[in-house]
Amino acid sequence: MRTKWLVTASLLGALAGTWSIVAAAEQAPAVKRSVLQKHDLRPPGFEGVMALVEIPVGGREGRHSHPAEVFGYVLEGTLSFDIEGQPTATLRAGDSLFIEAGKIHEGINRGDVPAKLVAVFATEKGKPLTTPAQ
């Protein structure tokens, strides 16, 4: 009886391991955000932030907003871009975009090469640059 239980437990453990591998494979690739430059602005209490956003093939940012207006420029690849209140846009290398403060949006790489976007923020110091959407 003990042998039968051990075999069953081993089989369940192996299946659980397989499921965790499948679940990990189904997760979207990670988006990388790197701050390239930060600089104090006039008026006092504000700063400019330039960031590089890299979205791998199949990756998505997740719906989020910013407390500041955002200017973006696509360096490489193609992005599907959803901005609250606007139709979905397809942006390619060389295209630019503007996002109003507080608007929920998301960039998704449905292309076949990694996408890179430079984003520039003029924001109040101390506020988080990105807030996930509820």
Q: How far apart are CA 118 and CA 17, in angstroms?
A: 39
Is 88 in a helix, a strand, or coil? coil
Report which of residues 56 and 5 the model is more confident about.
56
Closest CA to 103 of 133, 128, 74: 133
Contact call for residues 121 and 66 (beta carbons, < 8 A): yes
List phi, psi (to 5°) of 64: -155, 175
The whole-number pLDDT of residue 7 equals 39
CB 81 within 8 A of CB 105: yes
Q: How far apart are CA 33 and CA 15, in angstroms?
A: 35
| Burial bucket for residue 85 (CB in 10 Å: 0-12, 13-18, 19+) | exposed
Does pLDDT of 117 surpass 50? yes
**Whole-number Å distance between alpha carbons of 27 and 20:** 11
pTM tops 0.85, yes or no: no
pLDDT in tens, 13-28: 443 443 333 333 456 6
pLDDT at position 26 is 54
In this predicted structure, the answer to whether residue 11 has a pLDDT above a threshold of 80 is no
Identify any residues that bridge with 89 across adjacent strands, giving them in sequence order: 81
Query: Is the pLDDT score of 10 beyond 80?
Result: no
Please give the mean pLDDT across all residues of the chain. Answer: 84
Task: Compute and round to an integer the Cα radius of gyration of the chain.
Answer: 21
